[in-house]
Amino acid sequence: MKLLYTVVFVLVHVTPPCELTNTRLTGVFNWTTITYQISQEETKAAIESGRYIPENNLALGIERWNNKLFVTVPRFKPGVLATLNYISLANMNSSNKSPDLIPYPNLEANTGTVTTWPPKLQSACRIRVDSCDRLWVMDTGIIDILAQPKQQMPPTIFIYDLKNDELLYTYPFKDKVDYNENSFFPNIIVDVTSANCEQAYAYIPDIGNYKVIVYSLQNNQTHIVTHNYFHFDPLSGDFTSNGVHFQWQDGVFGMALSPVDRDGFRLVYFHPLASTMEFAVSSKYLQNSTLAKENLKAFKVLGNRGINGQSSASFLDEETGVLFYTQINRNAVACWNSFKGEEYNEKTQGVVADDEETLSFPNDIKVDKTGILWVINSPLPEFMIAGLNKNNINFRIFMAPVRQAIKGTSCDEM
């Protein structure tokens, strides 16, 4: 397994904080270091044993279901107590804005080897709740990727029933077929409707091999889709975050789904991480690898986000048609309204919020079923190179009703 990221050079300088422009999003949680809901005695024992090294815990992915806000902490370095966690939103209005993370479904499921059944969660980046009240987790199976990488188990899909917290399914990827030493799976997108829960598909981008793994729940099998548009753009591989300059070669990463069309399929919006371009293809082609190979022109160029428009995660709100996406080089959250019929370019895109300090490196973005936009930022490049600064607030979670988030932008419905 090669390292996920290759740092070319580093230049650190002090950047004065810019004027706060994050006016549409409301900060609800923040942490200097991640803590977990275990007793003081258990915390002490975990630190002494090396199972918990606070500064090695990086909050990365989010998802919301009812009163649970899920937060992933990938095992990029040793000492991550639990990779899949949640925060109870029942007490969101309390004065504690840095709550302990609660391991999901419990600490035991996040602890131990893969030789037991069910297998233990190893390292999850991003997750997805579907319309059938299930939580889909794409576990990379790799731990300590920034130290001494170990493939503890094959990359594995875990699916939980959120109504009773039971593990419903697991699907391990096939070695040398679905994945190899260059693979990394930082995202998972679930395509399903509540009327056909068993006919679900998951789209899992492999950013190292420039392909998408498509998993059919009904058939319990995978196939692979490839296309040139899944590759990175060498002219868009330069990144800067808090004075850290580096290059990435990550391919297809962000994927978002339109509402179901008349033909029963969705439009899938996608982009490589090291690119400023956005593309689209009908899910009809992703769900059938033969069709995808025979219809390469079904993959369309949507448009360009402009200089420094690189994006990680994205999500489309089905009610308004607004596509939200992070802009990691601009420390921003941006949007484009797919219902307006406008071209996808810099002029038709809106800025929901941007802030060098509070939105530095936005990492994940979701819209829940109640129409609330959620955003998490975390200093991944600094974490990789120098480690977390214990004097800073390193992680923030923001929220806003979708219509509030787009009000006054080019994404507004008016």
β-sheet with 68-72: strand ranges across: 62-65, 68-72, 84-88, 102-103
Would the pLDDT of 283 be above 60? Answer: yes
Would the pLDDT of 113 be above 90? Answer: no
Q: Which two tokens stand for residue 5?
A: 């990221």
DSSP symbols for 345-396 = SGGG-EEEEE-TTTTSSEEEEEE-TTSEEEEEE--HHHHHHT---TTS--EE
User: Greatest CA span in the chain, whole angstroms?
Assistant: 60
Would the pLDDT of 13 be above 50? Answer: no
Would the pLDDT of 76 be above 80? Answer: yes
Mean pLDDT across the stretch 205-223? Answer: 99
What confidence score (pLDDT) does residue 414 get? 67
Residue-averaged pLDDT of the chain = 94
We find that the CATH architecture of domain 227-413 is: 6 Propeller (2.120)
Would the pLDDT of 238 be above 80? Answer: yes
What confidence score (pLDDT) does residue 7 get? 43
The per-residue pLDDT for range 321-362, each reduced to its tens digit, is 999 999 999 999 999 999 999 999 999 999 999 999 999 999
Q: How far is CA 108 from the centre of its chain?
A: 24
What confidence score (pLDDT) does residue 10 get? 40
Exposure b/e, 366-385, CB count within 10 A at least 16 = b: bbbeebbbbbbbbbbbbbbb
CA separation (Å) from 138 to 92, 132, 141, 176, 215?
Answer: 27, 17, 9, 18, 11
Tokens 């037991």: give the residue. 116
Which residues lie across from 278 on neighbouring strands? Answer: 303
Would the pLDDT of 121 be above 90? Answer: yes
Q: Which two tokens stand for residue 89?
A: 């939103």
Split at pLDDT 50, 70, 90, the class of 255 is very high
In this structure, the number of other CB atoms found within 10 A of the CB of residue 230 comes to 23
In this structure, the number of other CB atoms found within 10 A of the CB of residue 27 comes to 15
Would the pLDDT of 73 be above 90? Answer: yes
Instruction: Give 31-194's CATH code, choosing from 2.60.40.10, 1.25.40.10, 2.120.10.30, 3.30.70.2660.
Output: 2.120.10.30
Where does the chain hold its CATH 2.120.10.30 domain(s)?
31-194, 227-413
What confidence score (pLDDT) does residue 12 get? 38
Would the pLDDT of 381 be above 50? Answer: yes
Split at pLDDT 50, 70, 90, the class of 117 is confident
Burial of 391 (0-12, 13-18, 19+ CB in 10 A): exposed
The per-residue pLDDT for range 45-56, each reduced to its tens digit, is 999 999 999 999
Under 8 Å between Cβ of 373 and 405: yes
| Alpha-carbon gap, residue 74 to 340, rounded angstroms | 38
What confidence score (pLDDT) does residue 4 get? 42
In 3D space, the residue among 164, 113, 114 whose CA is nearest the CA of residue 135 turns out to be 164
Contacts 24+ apart (CB under 8 A), 38-41: 38/81, 38/100, 38/107
Three-class secondary structure of residue 406 per DSSP: helix
In 3D space, the residue among 80, 65, 186 whose CA is nearest the CA of residue 132 turns out to be 65
Mean pLDDT across the stretch 249-269? Answer: 98
What confidence score (pLDDT) does residue 92 get? 86
